[in-house]
């Protein structure tokens, strides 16, 4: 048997080598294909990251520009304050003195106390010194000036205007949320709700505005409300219908200004949205109050007394609808709180006393004419004319009248009678009547009459015989049997003030 030489090639070795070479080449081609896909994926991710960072850089550059503008604005304000450094220091000194003594309630009161005071920050106490909330630090404009931000509701800030500061006075971006009202910012004021309410009640007028800078950022669009504001009670209010510049989506930048001047103040929250990838920034103005609320010379309520400066809890007399009234005022409560005013009752106050008592001293027979009197016992106010017997009301009010008389008749087989009537402006309003039948001797009968009448100034009241029998008459002599009395019960004091 012959053995194969070990140095001779195996008949399958070439095949095996070819197979291994093909397998290696196939693996190389497969690996190259996978690497190609991975490289393409990395290139795609790089492009996306580049675009993302580029947009972030644009946003940051925009924010930096805005911050630079704010810094520039703050620098200009500081420069102005430095120019007026001395007056500003004087203001602070004045305020420190007032804070330790009498803190006034509004900038209007401070300006009225001394018109030479400069504009600046002052302490005021609208709800009253020593009661309610602590004093608040406000800005007082002591000179008239144009107000560029409040074109809608006021062209000029009046001297003595009070401004309430808050945390949303600078321009603020609304971001990129798209749902209606999704951007929501509460307004934090540097004054309590009670103090702001008191300031509004003390002032002749108050106003506040919102400025909105927009580009493709609507307030209202296609029937959808995207922006609104909330009042002091949290109630929602849309912006004015005529503010349509932002709703046009023109791609241009617009600025709209909406102002409010009523009891809904102050703004408590603002809402915006950016549904069309535009931009928007809001500026909420300060609440400004000017002037002094009108108060009648004679107070009619605790609120009037509070506006005049009263702060002591006590019973006060005020002018009611017709008469003076007593009320208890609890000034440590707000005017709209329960218990601020409690009605006690009416006050018996008359501008001048009016009462009379007159008598006759002789017999009287005449019918249908005013009965004159001869004796004047009392006639305070001189409203009773003794000779004519006519009383003329000096003022509006409630009056009481009383008549007592003596009717006499001579003997008669028939019926004898006598009647005396009370007349108001020629209209009979009461009557006293007596009668007797078949009297054989002289006969006397008393007559009495009382009446309470509401009279107006210059109304006239008198007595007259309305009916008298053939033998009848009003008997009198020096003893005085016929008396006429009258006096004012209540005066409609409001007519006299």
> CA 264, 266, 272 angle in degrees (round to 5)?
95
Beta bridge partners of 255: 213
Helix (H, G, I), strand (E, B) or coil at 31: helix
- pTM given for the model: 0.58
Mean pLDDT within 321-344:
90
pLDDT at 151: 47
Q: Which two three-digit tokens encode residue 79?
A: 């420069």
What is the structure's pLDDT at 219?
A: 94
Q: What is the pLDDT of residues 366-379, one digit of tens each?
A: 999 999 999 999 99
Dist CA 135 CA 129 (whole Å): 8
Q: What's the pLDDT score for residue 355?
A: 96
Closest of 260, 285, 275 to residue 207, by C-alpha: 260
Which pLDDT score is estimated for 59?
73
- What pLDDT shows up at residue 85? 46
Residue 26, pLDDT score: 60
Position 80 confidence tier, pLDDT thresholds 50, 70, 90 = low
pLDDT tens per residue, range 135-190: 999 999 999 877 654 444 445 789 999 999 999 999 999 999 999 999 999 999 99
pLDDT class for 1, splitting at 50, 70, 90?
very low
| pLDDT tens, residue by residue, 6-48 | 444 455 455 666 666 665 656 555 556 677 777 777 777 777 7
Element (H, E) at 79: helix 13-83
Contacts of 31 (CB under 8 A, 6+ apart): none
Euclidean distance between CA atoms 119 and 91, whole angstroms:
8
CA distances from 103 to 93, 109, 141 (A): 13, 10, 17
pLDDT band at 261 (very low <50, low <70, confident <90, very high): confident
Question: What's the whole-number mean pLDDT along residues 306-310?
Answer: 87
CA dist 285 and 150 (Å) reads: 8
8 or 80: which leads in pLDDT: 80
Give the per-residue pLDDT at 170. Answer: 94
Mapping DSSP onto H, E and C, the string for 383-399 reads CEECCCCEEECCCCEEE
Where is average pLDDT lowest: 54-68, 217-231, 480-494? Answer: 54-68
Among 481, 184, 264, smallest CA distance to 360 is for 481
Q: Give the three-state DSSP class for 230.
A: strand
CA dist 403 and 316 (Å) reads: 39
Rounded to whole angstroms, the Cα distance separating 299 from 495 reads 14
Whether 82 shows a pLDDT value over 60: the answer reads no
229 beta partners: 237, 270
Q: What is the pLDDT of residue 15?
A: 61
Task: State the average pLDDT for the chain.
Answer: 85
Q: Is the pLDDT of residue 431 over 70?
A: yes
What tokens appear for 175 in the block? 């971001």
Q: Where are the alpha helices (DSSP H) in 322-401?
A: none
Q: Is the pLDDT of residue 484 over 70?
A: yes
Each residue's pLDDT tens digit, 84-122:
544 444 444 444 444 445 789 999 999 999 999 999 999
Contact indicator for 111, 91 with CB cutoff of 8 Å: no
Q: How far apart are CA 310 and CA 331, in angstroms?
A: 8
Contacts of 76 (CB under 8 A, 6+ apart): none
pLDDT band, very low/low/confident/very high, at 320 (cuts 50, 70, 90): confident
Least confident segment among 48-57, 155-164, 382-391, 486-495: 48-57
Mean pLDDT, residues 456-467: 96
Averaged over 57-66, what is the pLDDT?
A: 75
Task: Find which of 43-57, 106-120, 333-347 is predicted with most confidence, using mean pLDDT.
Answer: 106-120
357 or 62, which is more confident? 357
The pLDDT of 346-354, averaged and rounded, is 85
Phi, psi of 32 (to 5 degrees): -65, -40
Tell me: pLDDT of 387 over 50: yes
| Mean pLDDT along residues 251-279 | 91
């Amino acid at each position: 048997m012959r053995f194969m030489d070990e140095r001779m090639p195996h008949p399958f070795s070439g095949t095996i080598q070819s197979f291994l070479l093909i397998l290696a080449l196939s693996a190389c081609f497969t690996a190259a294909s996978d690497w190609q896909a991975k490289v393409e994926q990395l290139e795609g991710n790089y492009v996306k990251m580049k675009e993302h960072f580029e947009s972030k850089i644009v946003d940051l550059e925009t924010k930096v520009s805005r911050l630079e503008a704010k810094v520039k604005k703050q620098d200009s304000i500081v420069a102005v304050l430095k120019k007026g450094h001395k007056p500003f220091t004087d203001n602070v000194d004045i305020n420190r003195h007032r804070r330790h003594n009498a803190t006034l309630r509004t900038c209007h009161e401070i300006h009225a106390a001394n018109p030479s005071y400069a504009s600046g920050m002052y302490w005021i106490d609208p709800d009253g010194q020593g009661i309610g909330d602590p004093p608040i630090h406000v800005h007082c404009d002591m000179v008239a000036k144009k107000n560029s931000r409040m074109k809608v509701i006021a062209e000029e800030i009046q001297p003595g205007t009070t401004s309430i500061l808050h945390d949303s006075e600078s321009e603020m971006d609304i971001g990129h949320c798209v749902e209606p009202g999704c951007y929501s910012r509460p307004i934090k004021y540097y004054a309590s709700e009670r103090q702001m309410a008191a300031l509004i009640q003390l002032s002749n007028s108050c106003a506040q505005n919102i400025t909105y800078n927009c580009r493709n950022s609507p307030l209202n669009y296609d029937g959808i409300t995207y922006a609104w504001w909330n009042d002091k009670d949290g109630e929602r209010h849309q912006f004015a219908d005529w503010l349509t510049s932002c709703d046009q989506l023109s791609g241009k930048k617009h600025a709209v200004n909406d102002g409010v001047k009523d009891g809904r103040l102050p703004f408590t929250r603002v809402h915006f949205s950016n549904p069309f990838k535009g931009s928007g920034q809001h500026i909420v103005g300060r609440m400004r109050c000017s002037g002094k609320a009108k108060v009648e010379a004679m107070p009619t309520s605790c609120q009037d007394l509070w506006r005049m400066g009263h702060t002591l809890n006590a019973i006060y007399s005020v002018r009611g609808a017709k008469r003076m009234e007593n009320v208890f005022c609890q000034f440590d409560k707000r005017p709209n709180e329960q218990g601020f005013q409690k009605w006690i009752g009416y006050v018996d106050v008359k501008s001048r006393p009016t009462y009379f008592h007159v008598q006759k001293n002789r017999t009287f027979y005449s019918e249908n004419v005013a009965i004159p009197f001869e004796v004047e016992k009392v006639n305070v106010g001189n409203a009773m004319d003794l000779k004519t017997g006519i009383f003329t009301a000096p003022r509006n009010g409630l009056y009481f009248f009383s008549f007592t008389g003596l009717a006499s008749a001579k003997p008669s087989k028939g019926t004898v009678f006598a009647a005396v009537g009370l007349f108001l402006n020629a209209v009979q309003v009461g009557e006293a009547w007596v009668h007797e039948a078949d009297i054989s001797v002289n006969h006397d009968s008393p007559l009495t009459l009382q009446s309470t009448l509401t009279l107006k100034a210059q109304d006239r009241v008198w007595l007259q015989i309305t009916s008298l029998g053939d033998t009848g008459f009003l008997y009198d002599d020096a003893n005085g049997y016929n008396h006429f009395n009258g006096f004012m019960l209540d005066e409609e004091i409001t007519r006299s003030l």
